[in-house]
Amino acid sequence: MREKLYSKTECDELMVWPYVGEVSHDTPPPGLQLPLFNSSTIEIPHFVIDRYLDSPMKNSAGANNTFHIQSRRYLGNKFKLLSLIRKIVEERCKPYRNFCDIFAGTGVTGEHFNEKDIKIISNELLYSNYISLYAWLSPESFDGGKIKEYINMLNSLSCDGENYFSINYGGTYFTYENARKIGAIREKIEQMKLSFKERSILLTSLLYAVDKAANTCGHYDAFRKKLDTTTPIKLLIPDINQEKNCNNEIYNKDANVLIENLECDILYIEPPDNSRQYCDAYHLLENLICWNKGVVYGKAKKMDRSNLKSQYCLKSAGKVFSDLINKAKCKHILVSYNNTGESKDGRSNARIKDGEIIRILEEKGKVEIFEQHYKAFTTGKSATDGHTERVFYCKVRK
């Protein structure tokens, strides 16, 4: 039975998705601006930037037992694309006073533009991501000394008995020892008297630590057959820059709902681009952070996720995307969407075709396409082709 949960091919494939590579922020090579894109009705300027990134994820802890926002495995994590996004913003969107990351995921894109005088609006459907975004980016202040004490206390917590987490996830996604500890820490956080910011910081510290201790390929659709991720779990301190967060706003809403009451200079849109639901891939983290202790079922031990499904993973993706763009009140729109090509099982195929994205954006303003090639990171065993990421830029008509 467990054989089916994890196939080597799948894991090799997955290794190339979420891992954060090392990126240099130097200027892209000159002479790469080529008008390439043609469709039957429109000719769109198309810029190509080559940026080869094949270093493995730098997931290390910083000095003083701290960790950073990007120290997490996440499908579609845009850490690698930041230099391209930055370039477009610098060349096309200045001046700007705020930046909205409406499908924020880990929040690395918003964080990249986070400055004292820039408001970052960060939004995410999953509550676990929202809590993490709140910890990293919200303006609510906190006492760093207190956080350190709390984290030391949680790390030294004793945990002998079984708990909800160890019963459901021990021996599969985690060693029994780690699972017991994770459950005990989560329960303790629930009982502590904390501000919302403190609670978010402690939960974020737990979430990142859990991600490192998980016996997976980077998501929770399956666990690895061999339980060899045995390093004891340890909570670290998130390296949060309080000063820069003073104007920010964080939301936990459906993007199409939030957009109704939103006005911004730059709207950055990076929805899921295929039928793989993020609530399926990160059910375990969502369950841990929500801590409703509901029933989990199936081989992968997923809880009920019916209220977390994203329309962007369904056939209706084009329609909801069009609705979002129609309602957007902003000056600039940047859309990041993968050209994943055609996969065997179809689950990874792009939900919205390029032509449709362009057509929808064209109704709003002038469109350009920026492209960046990079070599996907592999474990060394399976060579993968170079992968292309595009950013569609739209200067909204006044």
Ligand X SMILES: C[S@@+](CC[C@H](N)C(=O)[O-])C[C@H]1O[C@@H](n2cnc3c(N)ncnc32)[C@H](O)[C@@H]1O
Q: Is 208 in the site for ligand X (CB under 6 A)?
A: no
Q: Is 103 in the site for ligand X (CB under 6 A)?
A: yes
Widest Cα–Cα separation across the chain? 67
Provide, rounded to whole angstroms, the least separation between the CB of residue 105 and ligand X.
Answer: 3
Task: Find out whether the peptide bond into 95 is cis, omega within 30 degrees of 0.
Answer: yes
The per-type count for the chain, helices as H runs and strands as E runs, is 14, 12
Measured CA to CA, the distance from residue 300 to residue 184 in angstroms comes to 22
List the one residue out of 200, 238, 280 whose CA is nearest residue 71. Answer: 238
- Count of all residues that appear for the chain in the document: 398
Provide, rounded to whole angstroms, the least separation between the CB of residue 67 and ligand X.
Answer: 15
- Residues 49, 57, 121, 126: which binds ligand X (CB under 6 A)? 126
**Segment near ligand X (CB under 6 A), from 44-52, 89-97, 99-107, 170-178?**
99-107
- Residues 130, 278, 370, 393: which binds ligand X (CB under 6 A)? 278
Taking CB atoms, the residue at the shortest distance from ligand X is 105
Would you say 112 or 375 has its CB closer to ligand X? Answer: 112
Q: Which tokens belong to 29?
A: 């090579």
Q: With CB under 6 A, what is the number of residues at the site for ligand X?
A: 23
CB neighbours of residue 165 within 10 Å: 27
Encode 301-359 in three state secondary structure.
CECCCHHHCCHHHCCCHHHHHHHHHHHCCEEEEEEEEECCCCCCCCCCCCCCCHHHHHH
CB neighbours of residue 208 within 10 Å: 24
Provide, rounded to whole angstroms, the least separation between the CB of residue 7 and ligand X.
Answer: 23
CB neighbours of residue 43 within 10 Å: 10
- Residues 151, 181, 272, 367: which binds ligand X (CB under 6 A)? 272
**Segment near ligand X (CB under 6 A), from 40-48, 104-112, 175-183, 234-242?**
104-112
Q: Is 312 in the site for ligand X (CB under 6 A)?
A: yes
CA torsion angle for 26, 32, 35, 37 (degrees, to 10)?
A: -70
Looking at the DSSP bridge assignments, the partners of residue 367 are: 394
Provide, rounded to whole angstroms, the least separation between the CB of residue 122 and ligand X.
Answer: 10
Provide, rounded to whole angstroms, the least separation between the CB of residue 128 and ligand X.
Answer: 9
The gap between the terminal CA atoms of the chain, to the nearest Å, is 58
**Segment near ligand X (CB under 6 A), from 75-83, 113-121, 180-188, 364-372?**
75-83
**Segment near ligand X (CB under 6 A), from 98-106, 141-149, 224-232, 388-396?**
98-106
Q: Is 209 in the site for ligand X (CB under 6 A)?
A: no
- Residues 15, 23, 108, 137: which binds ligand X (CB under 6 A)? 108
Q: Is 114 in the site for ligand X (CB under 6 A)?
A: no
Q: Is 372 in the site for ligand X (CB under 6 A)?
A: no
Query: For strand 386-396 and strand 249-251, is the pairing parallel, antiparallel, or unpaired?
Result: unpaired
The one-character DSSP state at 245 is: G
Would you say 156 or 307 has its CB closer to ligand X? Answer: 307
Provide, rounded to whole angstroms, the least separation between the CB of residue 108 and ligand X.
Answer: 5
Residue 167 CB burial class (10 angstroms; 0-12, 13-18, ≥19): middle
Q: Is 129 in the site for ligand X (CB under 6 A)?
A: yes
Q: Is 200 in the site for ligand X (CB under 6 A)?
A: no
Query: For strand 119-123 and strand 98-101, is the pairing parallel, antiparallel, or unpaired?
Result: parallel
Q: Is 23 in the site for ligand X (CB under 6 A)?
A: no
Contact pattern for ligand X over residues 322 through 361, marking x by CB under 6 A:
----------------------------------------
Q: Is 106 in the site for ligand X (CB under 6 A)?
A: yes
Provide, rounded to whole angstroms, the least separation between the CB of residue 316 and ligand X.
Answer: 11
Provide, rounded to whole angstroms, the least separation between the CB of residue 170 and ligand X.
Answer: 26
The one-character DSSP state at 38 is: E
Q: Is 125 in the site for ligand X (CB under 6 A)?
A: yes
Measured CA to CA, the distance from residue 128 to residue 133 in angstroms comes to 9
Would you say 103 or 377 has its CB closer to ligand X? Answer: 103
HSE-up (13 A, CA, CB side) for residue 274: 18
Q: Is 109 in the site for ligand X (CB under 6 A)?
A: yes
Residues that bind ligand X (CB under 6 A): 74, 76-78, 103-106, 108-109, 123-126, 129, 254-255, 270-272, 278, 310, 312
